[in-house]
Every structure is written in structure tokens, then in C-alpha cells.
Amino acid sequence: MPKRIIDFFKNLLRDLKKGVPKDQLMKKYGFKTSTQLKTAIANAAMAQGIIPELAGGRGGLQAKEVSRKVKVNSRGSLIIPKQLAEKYGLKVGDTFEVSKSAAGLSLKKV
């Protein structure tokens, strides 16, 4: 996220905590409606980690979908994307047993 947006969010939250009235916040930050202000406050809180980010919707801050695709490199090693490994709690040095079934391959941690 660009620094100017992060600064904008920090300043907005700072003014909100100071108790600056809604009409003054709207004028200072250029919001035309209270809904725009509320959305900006929610986005600022998510960007600062005060509340968890919302997934889905039509725009704004969204959680990225983690790819479940695994590749085989030229040495025959399976390459698991870092985000997928983190999602499933895989760590460097973990060992797995590979088995084949009618559904495909499966990995079992040993």
C-alpha cells in the first residue's frame, strides 16, 4: 500500500480518536457522504490491523485467494507456493510420504 494512503489512514484514525466531529472530518478529508467516511474509517482500521480484513465483496481491501497449484521443477521437486505452505502450516525440513490413489497423489506428513 502506498505511503500516502497509509498516512491518510493514520491521520484519519488519529483525528477520530481525538474526537473530531463527523462534519469536520468530512470537510477535512473531502468526503461527500457519511457512508464514504464510514467506509474510509473501516478501511483504515483494517489497514492498520485494528480489525481483520474483510474477504470478498466488489472492491476495496480483499484477502487474496491462495493458489492451490503445485509445480514440478526441472529436478523433479514439487514447488509449493509460500502462501499455501503457510496456510497449511508446512515448515522447512518437513518430511512427507507420497502415495498414489485413484484420486491422484496424496502427501502424508511423517
Q: Phi/psi zone of residue 44: left (φ > 0), alpha (ψ -120 to 50 degrees), beta?
A: alpha
Domain coordinates in residue numbering, the chain: 3-47, 71-109
- Phi, psi angle pair for 34, to nearest 5°: -70, -25
- Phi, psi angle pair for 104, to nearest 5°: 135, -145
**69 or 1: which leads in pLDDT:** 69
Cell numbers at residue 12, please?
A: 484519519
Mean pLDDT, the chain, whole residue set: 85
pLDDT digits (tens, 9 = 90+) for 33-65: 999 999 999 989 988 888 887 766 655 545 567
Query: Strand pairing partners for 96?
Result: 109
Residue 65 near residue 40, CB atoms below 8 Å: no
Percentage above 90 pLDDT, the chain: 38
pLDDT digits (tens, 9 = 90+) for 9-19: 999 999 999 99
pLDDT at residue number 64: 61
What is 71-109's CATH number, 2.10.260, 2.40.30, 2.40.50, 3.40.1350? 2.10.260
pTM above 0.75, yes or no: no
pLDDT at residue number 68: 81
Residue 27 near residue 37, CB atoms below 8 Å: no
